[in-house]
Amino acid sequence: MKSKKKNKQARYEQWMAYLFIMPQYLGLICFVLIPVIVCFVLCFTSWDLIGEINFTGLSNFVSVFKDERIGKSLINTLIFALGIIPVTTIVSLCLALLTNREIKGLGFYKATYFLPMATSSVAIVLVWYWMFAPDLGIINFALGMLGIEGPGWLIDNAWARVAVILMSTWQGLGYYYLIFLAGLKSIPKEYYEAADIDGANTVQKFFRITLPLLSTTTFFVIITMTIGALNTFQEPMVLTEGGPEYSTYTIVMYIYDLAFKFFRMGEAAVVSVVLFMLVVLVTIVQFRLSGKWVHTNE
């Protein structure tokens, strides 16, 4: 009699639990799992949003890979990643090293450095658009004060890329700074004390203790930045609209153009899948490589 009651109780609990996870699972199925499958299917069809959906085999793949924009957007992404990652990593790590001690105004610095990330939006990109303005912009004015003739930011192919990199660095700096600082704080002080007793200098301590023990953090930082670079959209969209001559055009902009400017849903799906694969690939490659230089506590 008692066990029957208990059984009933357990079944009630189970049904309630299913009810509680239902909203999230419904969303997961409708807005993530099914769309992902549909995206893969769409790759093999042609559709302009209005007419019929026709199966076209591999023709979308052919036309996407014949289009020069896929190569350009991939190269730009690579350039952005190669520009943003080293600069941001070095600067944010240096700031973290400088503040990993008793310091006046630490709270203020943390809050200030993170502000650009907290406010990342179209509105702040617009502010950079204004600062980069070639004739009246404050950046070229400041350069002029230093006796340097400012470049044509946003209108010169190479400098437009530098502008995007500069702005992205500004935006991400504080976030990665906080991550590095948390990583530094997790290194046990005893290691440094032991090194002091052995007479190690600051440089030795940095390369022998700090850097190896920080490798998990660095790994996380680099993966996050790479995936961020792959998904870049807002900054070039507002700063340069992808130009000049596609020099700041990104993969997500290409997807957007294909789907909502040219209404080629099949080709847009192909590029989405390419992006998806790249994200997965980056993650796998970095996990593989990490075995060689990431120090873990296990």
Partner 1 sequence: MNKKNRINKYLIQAVLIIFAVFCIFPFYWMVLTALKSSNNVIEFPPKVYPTSFKFSNFADVFRLMPMGQAYLNSIKVTLLATFGTLFTSSLAAFAFAKMRFRFRGLLFGILLGTMMIPGQVTLIPLYIVFARLGWIDTHLPLIVPTVLTNAYGVFMIRQFMINLPSDYVEAAKIDGCNYFRIYWQVMLPLCKPIIVTLGLFTFIWNWNNYLGALIFLNTDTKFTVPLIISAFRGVYTVQWELLMAASTVAILPIIIMYLFSQKFFIQAVSLTGIKA
Interface positions, 47-106, toward partner 1 (CB under 8 A): 49, 91, 95, 98-99, 103-105
Selected range binding partner 1 among 61-69, 74-82, 120-128, 149-157, rule: CB under 8 A: 120-128
Selected binder of partner 1 within 6, 8, 13, 57 (CB under 8 A)? 13
Q: Is 112 in the site for partner 1 (CB under 8 A)?
A: yes
Question: Residue 112 phi/psi, 5° resolution?
Answer: -70, -45
- What is the size of the binding site for partner 1 (CB under 8 A)? 92
Burial class (CB in 10 A: 0-12, 13-18, 19+), 276: middle
143 binds partner 1 (CB under 8 A): no
Stretch that binds partner 1, among 135-143, 196-204, 205-213, 288-296 (CB under 8 A): 135-143
Single residue of 226, 229, 259, 290 touching partner 1 by CB under 8 A: 259
Specify the DSSP class assigned to residue 50. S
CB neighbours of 231 closer than 8 A, spacing ≥ 6?
252, 275
Of 71-79, 110-118, 201-209, 290-298, which segment contacts partner 1 by CB under 8 A?
110-118
What is the closest distance, in whole angstroms, from the C-beta atom of residue 133 to partner 1 in the complex? 8
Piece in contact with partner 1 (CB under 8 A), picked from 73-81, 122-130, 155-163, 190-198: 122-130
Q: Which is nearer to partner 1, 211 or 227 (CB)?
A: 227
Q: Give 31 or 207: the residue with its C-beta nearer to partner 1.
A: 31
Choice from 7, 54, 121, 157 touching partner 1 (CB under 8 A): 121
Contact letters for partner 1, residues 201-240 (x by CB under 8 A): -------------------x---x--x--xx-xx--xx--
Closest listed residue to residue 250, CA positions, set 269, 265, 228: 228
Residue 84 class from Cβ within 10 Å (0-12 exposed, 13-18 middle, 19+ buried)? buried
Q: Tell whether residue 31 is a contact of partner 1 (CB under 8 A).
A: yes
Q: What angle do CA 248, 169, 99 make, to 5 degrees?
A: 175
Q: Measure the CA–CA gap between 94 and 195, rounded to whole angstroms.
A: 21
Q: Which of 126, 148, 158, 281 binds partner 1 (CB under 8 A)?
A: 126
Q: How many Å apart are CA 226 and CA 80, to the nearest integer?
A: 9
| CA-CA-CA-CA torsion sign (33, 35, 40, 41) | positive
Instruction: Please identify which residue in 2, 4, 23, 201 interacts with partner 1, judged by CB under 8 A.
Output: 23
Q: Based on CB atoms, which residue is closest to partner 1, 33 or 75?
A: 33
One residue of 205, 276, 282, 294 binding partner 1 per CB under 8 A: 276
Please, which residue, 106 or 194, has the CB nearer to partner 1? 106
What's the CA dihedral at 36, 39, 41, 46 to 10 degrees? 170
Distance between CA atoms of 167 and 178, rounded to whole angstroms? 19
Q: For the segment 148-207, give every residue that binds partner 1 (CB under 8 A).
A: 170, 173-175, 178-179, 181-182
Q: Which of 129, 151, 132, 161 minimizes the C-alpha distance to 247? A: 161
Residue (of 82, 30, 40, 75) closest to 61 by Cα position: 40
- End-to-end, the C-alpha distance of the chain in Å comes to 50
